[in-house]
Structure formats: structure tokens, C-alpha cells
Amino acid sequence: DIVLTQSPGTLSLSPGERATLSCRAGQTVSSSYLAWYQQKPGQAPRLLIYGASSRATGIPDRFSGSGSGTDFTLTINRLEPEDFAVYYCHHYGTSPGTFGPGTTVDIK
């Protein structure tokens, strides 16, 4: 299985700032099979990005994904109060696929 490492573990920012979250894979992720999810306390995760850079239905355009190979980035422009949450990356396309440990974006 491909091991995913996310950094930083916690990102403390203010509303209106930009968040840059990193997900690094231990091996090349083929076909950019990489997704990002947002999880708020007490809720199920929500799909934000799939295929490394495609936004899921209904996701605001302040969320963007980029990267290929082993290095992927989720960028959140102009943080809104509802964006403070935990973010997970996910490698799929193989069984079982793996999740990163998560990055917490909290209010500074």
C-alpha cells in the first residue's frame, strides 16, 4: 500500500487567509488517483477534490487541488469560517487504498 503523509499536522490561520495543505505519497500515485475530503466535528467527511484537481459537485472554487506523482496540494483561498476543519487526502485505484493522517485547519 502507498503511505500518505500530510503536512503540516495543524495549520492555524485567520479567516480570509490562504491555506496550503500538502499530501506526499511514498510511491508514485498513478493516474493522479488522489482525492481530498473535509471533515467537521461530528460529521462524515465530504468529498472536495478527486483526480488530484477536479472539484466535486457543489464545492466552491476557493478550493483547488494540484500535483502529480508523489506530491499533491490542496489550496483554500480566502478561508471562510466554515472551512475550519480536518482535511484528509486519499489514494484510490488500488485495493484498499489509503488515507493520510489528516491536517487540521484551525482558527488563529
Q: Which residues bind another protein (CB under 8 A)?
A: 31, 33, 35, 37, 43-47, 50-51, 56, 88, 90, 92-102
Question: Residue 17 or residue 98: which is nearer to another protein going by CB?
Answer: 98
Which residue, 32 or 79, has its beta carbon nearer to another protein?
A: 32
Cα dihedral 44, 99, 34, 36 in deg (nearest 10): 30
Q: Shortest Cβ distance from residue 36 to another protein (Å)?
A: 9
Q: CB of residue 78 vs another protein: minimum separation in angstroms?
A: 25
Name which of 79 and 100 has its Cβ closer to another protein. 100
Give CA–CA dist 64/55, Å, rounded.
7
Lookup: cell for 96: 484498499
Any idea what DSSP says for residue 32?
G
Alpha-carbon distance of 45 to 37, in angstroms, equals 6
Question: Cβ 33 to another protein, closest distance in Å?
Answer: 7
